[in-house]
Amino acid sequence: MENSIEIPEHLISGGEAITINLIGVGGTGSWVLGDLIALHHYLVETGRLGLKVRAYDPDIVTEANLGRQNFNSADLNENKAVALVEKYNRYWGLNWEGIPEEFSAAHKQANITICCVDSIESRRKIIEAIRIRKKRAYDDSEYPHFLIDCGNGYDYGQIIVTPLWESGHKTFLDYFPDQKENITEPSCSVLESLGKQNLFINKFMANLAVNWLYEGIRNTEQSNLGYFFNFNSLTPIYL
């Protein structure tokens, strides 16, 4: 296929842990974090060092987040990134980091950045931060190899993967150059939030994002750079 790419050796060999920056631990990002646990254990069981994840989010858990996001009542009023990472660390014996801040160029880079934010401006800042800090050796744990952008509407979504070691690959902003900010008030209840999005669309898109990474590492290559997906027809359009 036109967009078939080989996965960099650094991500396949397992000689070092694969570093991941997960930006946004809400509707999609909270489920991505759980799926990264599964990917980590697959890597460990196949003789690799697994993943080293840093999760960023400045928001706290509210009542409206319960059910659709990967939180429970014990997490209420706690920071999303800290609450979920600490829970997984205790359960799985990991030392991942939950950082209660917005990601910026001042933070460490990672081999893979998974973007789960719903703001156009936030996406611009993340892409710019990666470009500013992309001055690392190829095998450095901070060298950025991929940006994986996750987004969705009520019952559809997209996973857009941007290889970062060479120029010319599209980002979310290239696919949606005229996209306007969707400014909405935060939902005050689970029922209200479900009026805006299908109950399972975020979890589904999280599965697709981490599966793209899993299949690429397992097969040492990928045949696409993501997909647009309709949750009702279950029909992907590959990029």
Closest-CA residue to 146 (of 231, 212, 89, 201) = 212
The whole-angstrom separation of Cα 101 and Cα 79 is 9
The pLDDT, as a whole number, for residue 114 is 97
Q: What is the pLDDT of residue 188?
A: 43
What pLDDT is stored for residue 169 in this prediction? 85
Beta partners for residue 66, in sequence order: 69
Instruction: State the distance between the two ends of the chain, measured CA to CA, in whole angstroms.
Output: 10
List the beta bridge partners of residue 13: none
Output the pTM of the full model: 0.89
Residue 64 C-alpha from the chain's centroid: 21
Using CB atoms within 10 Å of the CB of residue 86, give its burial: 0 to 12 exposed, 13 to 18 middle, 19+ buried: middle
β-pairing verdict for 146-152 and 112-115? parallel
Residue 239 CA to residue 225 CA, distance in Å, equals 5
Each residue's pLDDT tens digit in the chain (239 positions)?
A: 467 889 988 899 888 899 999 999 999 999 999 999 999 999 999 999 999 999 999 999 999 999 889 999 999 999 999 999 999 999 999 999 999 999 988 898 899 999 999 888 888 889 888 876 665 544 567 788 899 999 988 888 999 999 988 777 888 888 877 765 554 444 444 444 555 678 889 999 999 999 999 999 999 999 999 999 887 887 888 88
Neighbours of 44 (CB within 10 A): 14
Query: Is the Cβ–Cβ distance between 159 and 227 less than 8 Å?
Result: yes
Q: How far apart are CA 68 and CA 130, in angstroms?
A: 30
Nearest to 82 by CA among 97, 66, 104: 97
| Whole-number pLDDT of residue 189 | 41
Closest to 236 (Cα-Cα) out of 194, 207, 214: 207
The encoded tokens of residue 4 equal 């078939």
Inter-residue contact 155 to 230 (CB < 8 Å): yes
- Domains of the chain (ranges, CATH numbers): 5-238 (3.40.50.720)
